[in-house]
A and B are shown apart, each in its own frame.
Chain A
């Protein structure tokens, strides 16, 4: 079985650009999470979907971050416009109804 797949693995953006990160959860999982990881803040929850419904949109990340789940096997995270402080690793994870959580390899974003 394929695990959680994230693309691209690396992204470099200029300040002000729009970027879209992609995630395919483990087949059959109905929970999908987007996290941001930095050395200072650690793992921060950006969005949480259950059965494609948005359960949490990460509060402080609302204004420039938008996650969508158009179908049960694909999710996107759009950052618009990007700022240098958005440089981080973005992790997607999935689970079956709150059970064992599986992470993707992450997308390393650098905003210049």
Chain B
């Protein structure tokens, strides 16, 4: 089964609304990273997380290693937030990241 499972797989929002994306892990994740792939295909790192929370502008992310999940909250969604969001987990000392299948987010004016 999927070691990193993202939900929902797709989401459509009105501009100005809020949303929450989630990743569940069936592996012992020690760190989590969130990425946004824009419609042109470029992958940009949004967050690098150890257990805890981080905030950057309208984005806030949390990682709970004991409950094996991570969330990404988007506040006041803007058109430029459209794209596919990926979470990825690292298992201790393995060095590589295991990626989820992504959440495709569409923001409508």
Q: A33-B97, A102-B45, A106-B42 are in contact. List 20 more A-B contacts (CB 8 A).
A: A31-B95, A43-B99, A48-B95, A50-B95, A55-B95, A55-B96, A98-B31, A98-B90, A98-B95, A100-B33, A100-B45, A101-B33, A101-B35, A101-B45, A101-B48, A101-B88, A101-B97, A103-B44, A103-B45, A105-B41
- Report the count of interface residues on B (CB-CB < 8 A): 19
Checking B43, B48, B95, B101 against A100 with a beta-carbon cut-off of 8 angstroms, the contacting residue is: B48
A-B CB contacts (within 8 Å), total count: 42
Most buried by A among B43, B96, B100, B101: B43
CB–CB A48/B43 < 8 A: no
Question: Looking at chain B's contact residues, is the secondary structure mostly helix, strand, loop, or mixed?
Answer: strand
Cβ-closest chain A residue relative to B96: A48
Chain B residues contacting A103 (CB-CB under 8 Å) are 35, 42-45
Chain B residues contacting A102 (CB-CB under 8 Å) are 45
CB–CB B86/A43 < 8 A: yes
B residues apposed to A, CB below 8 Å = 31, 33, 35, 41-45, 48, 86, 88, 90, 95-97, 99-102
- Shortest beta-carbon distance from A83 to chain B in Å: 23
Cα of A98 to Cα of B45 in the assembled complex, Å = 13
- Shortest beta-carbon distance from A43 to chain B in Å: 4
18 contacts between A and B (CB under 8 A): A31-B95, A33-B96, A42-B101, A42-B102, A45-B96, A55-B96, A93-B43, A98-B31, A98-B90, A98-B95, A100-B33, A101-B33, A101-B48, A101-B88, A102-B45, A103-B44, A103-B45, A106-B42
Cβ-closest chain B residue relative to A99: B48
Chain A residues contacting B44 (CB-CB under 8 Å) are 103
Assuming the contacts A100-B33, A105-B42, asked whether A56 and B96 have C-beta atoms less than 8 A apart, the reply is yes
- Shortest beta-carbon distance from B34 to chain A in Å: 11
Checking A42, A56, A100, A105 against B99 with a beta-carbon cut-off of 8 angstroms, the contacting residue is: A42
Cβ-closest chain B residue relative to A35: B99
- Shortest beta-carbon distance from A25 to chain B in Å: 14
Cβ-closest chain B residue relative to A33: B96
